[in-house]
Structure 1
Amino acid sequence: MESLSFYENQFIKADSLISDGNIADGKELLEDILSQYPDFGKAHNHLGWIYYNKLSNHDKGIFHYKLAMKFEPKYPAPYINYTYLLIDLGRYAEAKEHVEFTKQHLENFDDSSYNSELGRMAEYESQYTLAYNYYRLAKKNALNPNFIDNMNANMKRVKDKMSIFEKLKLKLNKQ
């Protein structure tokens, strides 16, 4: 059995292949890593991403994200990726529970990203005032100018969906 360091380097190569759009070779390399180190959480996260985003295999995506969180509990990527997956599947109650769990257990919890996702769920559920407030919170702690622009666009879109009464209530609460 080769050293873990070798497989960490292989993981970096797999990550680079995936970033370059060579998903098949990246996937193969990740599977090789996991055949030797089945508890390599970062490899599970990347496989989860491939299965969900590239192969539309939700079950395998969930499986690998859960293993990533189990084996690499301080690695933030699988937590947010699992959130995206649950929301995309319309499993909002599970997603909200997962966000709350993540907020309590992940040291480097990214308020902006999770508030954005809570806003997305609220918007899907036609809770426009709540969505607006989550997007505003996401923007408040954000540093990335593109993310901030996206939150502004989300807030405008949600505001356009609001009834006149919701807009009035929003305006009154700002003062």
Structure 2
Amino acid sequence: MDHLTKLEEMLHHANEDIRQGHYDAATNTLEKIIDIDPNFGKAYNHLGYLYEVKFKEFEKGETLYKLCLEKSPMYPSVYYNYAVLLSTLQKWDELKELLDTALQIPGITKATIFNEYAIMYEQQGNMEEAIAYYKKAALKTLDKNMVTRAKDSIERCKMKKELL
């Protein structure tokens, strides 16, 4: 088994541990991957996710996402995860820059990125932009549930506009 295949297999095991709620085991596996190959960017993304979502250590999560972007800038998953963190931290300028970059990444789900733009604008109180991006998200997806969520979000933004 070659080096990269072994690392991908270890990453798969870490993912299984995350799914099963074995966060410490997943963390140990991901740290082993980084020890073996510090340039294996995907491991930083998964570790960042654990620190952000499971351990609520946002700064550590952000550092790990940045390392993933540095090592594996073409890895789509980091853009989704990091966008959610930046939104949570209300770092709007950094989020917009990340989303602008994400749209250029092959394999990225544009509907998901448009939805993140919409959430950002909605949280900033810019309902017109939010509505425009929820529409873009709905039009870019083939997922009926996502279309329904986008329509619901547009309705919510319209209700908020009345309050502004």
Same fold (TM over 0.5): yes
2:29 alignment partner in structure 1: 29
The residue type equivalent to 1:68 in the other structure is C
**What are the within-5 Å matches in structure 2 for residues 21-170 of structure 1?**
21-104=21-104, 106-163=105-162
Once the two structures are superposed, residues 99-145 of structure 1 have per-residue CA deviations (whole angstroms, 9 ceiling, x without a partner) of 112223x1223221111111111111111121111101100011122
The residue type equivalent to 1:114 in the other structure is I
Give how far 1:87 is off. Answer: 0.9
The residue type equivalent to 2:131 in the other structure is Y
The residue type equivalent to 1:51 in the other structure is Y
CA distance in 2, matches of 1:108, 1:33: 24
Identical aligned pairs, as a percentage?
30
The residue type equivalent to 2:145 in the other structure is N
- Superposed CA RMSD in Å reads 1.7
- Which secondary structure state, in structure 1, belongs to the residue aligned with residue 103 of structure 2? helix
2:17 alignment partner in structure 1: 17
The residue type equivalent to 2:6 in the other structure is F
CA distance in 1, matches of 2:162, 2:71: 46
Give how far 1:3 is off. Answer: 3.1
Which blocks of at least 5 consecutive residues in structure 2 are unaligned?
none
The residue type equivalent to 1:32 in the other structure is K
The residue type equivalent to 1:66 in the other structure is K
For these two proteins, the number of residue pairs brought into alignment is: 163
The structure having more radius of gyration, on CA atoms, is: 1
Once the two structures are superposed, residues 73-118 of structure 1 have per-residue CA deviations (whole angstroms, 9 ceiling, x without a partner) of 22100112111111110111111111112223x1223221111111
2:4 alignment partner in structure 1: 4
TM-score (norm 1): 0.86
Which one is further off, 118-127 or 107-116?
107-116
Give how far 1:13 is off. Answer: 0.6
TM-score (norm 2): 0.91
